[in-house]
Amino acid sequence: MVVSPALSYSSYRTYLECPLRWKYLYVERRPETPRGYFTFGRVIHSVLEEVVRPLVLPSARRREGGESQTTLRDWSDQGDAPLAAGGRPPMGAEDLLALYDHLWTNEGYASRDEEERYRSLGRELLLRYRDRLELEPPSPVAVEEHLEARWDGLPVHGYVDRIDRTPDGGLEVVDYKTSRELSAEDAVSSDQLSVYQVLVERNYRAPVERLTLLHLRSLTPLRTPPRGPRALEPLHQRMGEVADGIREEAFEPTPGAPCARCDFRAVCPEFRPMPAAEGPRLAALVDRFDALRADERRLEHELARTAAELHRAAEELGLHRVPGSRAVAVRHREVAWQYPLEVVRPILERSGALPRLSAESVDDVRRLLRDPEVPSELRRKVAETGSRQVRWFWELEETDGQAR
């Protein structure tokens, strides 16, 4: 039995994508082919670490049992009040580019032209970041910080790109992103930020006040409030299931689109070559399956068209039961309420309730509306954003009364 290690966000996502690939990477330690976009991201992160590290003013860390570690900050009169970055200027442009050239590696790029495009992008990105740093210096308390914690019994760990002190004395978790595009919704739905929030909360004394994806190409900080316990619970459940799967050595392959870029196809049972002698028999079965699936799609389309036509006729005549020669068609109604999250979240934010009340899904909103501890006025405002959705469907009853 494999001992389940502390999960990082990356290893958790790898297992969800394909448990067998997780085994190849984390148990058998098989190497993967370098890819240029990963190499680029690592180099940029390394340079930013060196650029920001001189600005760091450490903050009190927790010891086991919740006790706080003593830092120089604890001896000052300011206690945990916000501190500026100390007025230290960022690394000069020439030194920054020299560091970038020193750390640059050409691993994984498909061509010299691709490498040069990325390298030029990196220079532009880093110089603009440095200029922004000079105009708006942050107050970091840690950069590239490796943190470990037990999350309600589940061991987790990760490297947090940056932890900043906010103006109110709390903490901001910052994760750099070099991707081409990024949206505010990416920050709201980011499981990676959720894991980092848990790690920072269990390692630092000050509260986490916000979570941020920093889009480096546009220098746009995409900020979101911290997740409440209810919002974090589904992620904790999923990560616990991953840990259970690892402990039970559940390493079955999960075929899908990622297989096209997987380095382990040669050893994966999903891509094991078929014995030549079995070729004709299995090929005939595949062809038969393909034909039946086509028939299934045709019948599903015909069934949907007929049900819609029957519904229109029943609506016109005010009927709910329509007899046939062998069965009776009975019309049923399914009602559901939908709540637009992009409307609900601002309502919760304005009320100051978003950090405490989750609105990550429609189910969360429904639970909120049934919670007697939520002020009735707030529940009414949220309820008024809802719209009633009705779906009609048919079931068949045989003439002897047995349902089909």
The verdict on 38 and 163 lying in the same domain is yes
Q: Is 343 helix (H, G, I), strand (E, B) or coil?
A: helix
**CA–CA distances in Å: residue 378 to residues 334, 364, 385:** 27, 15, 11
The pTM (predicted TM-score) of the whole model is 0.69
Q: Is 23 helix (H, G, I), strand (E, B) or coil?
A: helix
The verdict on 231 and 345 lying in the same domain is no
The verdict on 389 and 297 lying in the same domain is no
The Cα–Cα gap between 132 and 93 comes to: 12
| Domain, as residue range, for 139 | 9-247
Residue 23: count of CB within 10 angstroms of its CB: 21
User: In 328-385, which residue ranges form alpha helices assigned H by DSSP?
Assistant: 341-351, 362-370, 376-383
How buried is 206 (Cβ within 10 angstroms: 0-12 exposed, 13-18 middle, 19+ buried)? buried
The Cα–Cα gap between 317 and 135 comes to: 71
The verdict on 301 and 180 lying in the same domain is no
Nearest to 355 by CA among 166, 195, 227, 231: 227
How buried is 186 (Cβ within 10 angstroms: 0-12 exposed, 13-18 middle, 19+ buried)? middle
53-78 burial by CB neighbour count: b if 16+ within 10 A, else e?
eebbbebbbeeeeeeeeeeebeeeee
- The number of folded domains in the chain is 3
Per-residue pLDDT of the chain (404 residues; tens, 9 = 90+): 566 689 999 999 999 999 999 999 999 999 999 999 999 999 999 999 999 999 998 876 775 554 544 444 443 334 443 434 444 667 899 999 999 999 999 999 999 999 999 999 999 999 999 999 999 999 999 999 999 999 999 999 999 999 999 999 999 999 999 998 999 999 999 999 999 999 999 999 999 999 999 999 999 999 999 999 999 999 999 999 999 999 999 999 999 888 999 999 999 999 888 889 999 999 999 999 999 999 999 999 999 999 999 999 999 998 889 999 889 999 998 888 888 888 888 888 888 766 556 667 888 888 888 888 888 888 888 899 999 888 889 999 987 645 44
Q: Which two three-digit tokens encode residue 57?
A: 């003013």
Residue 4 placed within a domain: no
Residue 233 placed within a domain: yes
Residue 345 carries which side chain, given as an amino acid letter?
A: R
DSSP 62: B
The verdict on 142 and 74 lying in the same domain is yes
Q: Give the domain CATH number at 33.
A: 3.90.320
The verdict on 157 and 60 lying in the same domain is yes
Residue 38 placed within a domain: yes
Residue 98 carries which side chain, given as an amino acid letter?
A: A
Residues paired with 126 in a beta bridge: none
The verdict on 217 and 120 lying in the same domain is yes
Residue 261 placed within a domain: no
Q: What is the pLDDT of residue 60?
A: 67
Residue 262 placed within a domain: no
Q: Give me the phi and psi of 259, to 5 degrees please.
A: -60, -30
The Cα–Cα gap between 377 and 350 comes to: 13
Contact (Cβ atoms closer than 8 angstroms) between residue 352 and residue 358: no
Residue 203 placed within a domain: yes
Nearest to 232 by CA among 180, 189, 267, 261: 189
Contact (Cβ atoms closer than 8 angstroms) between residue 177 and residue 222: no
The verdict on 243 and 294 lying in the same domain is no
Residue 264 placed within a domain: no
The verdict on 32 and 138 lying in the same domain is yes
Residue 348 placed within a domain: yes
The verdict on 289 and 391 lying in the same domain is no
Q: Which two three-digit tokens encode residue 385?
A: 């954003």
The verdict on 189 and 47 lying in the same domain is yes
The verdict on 64 and 120 lying in the same domain is yes
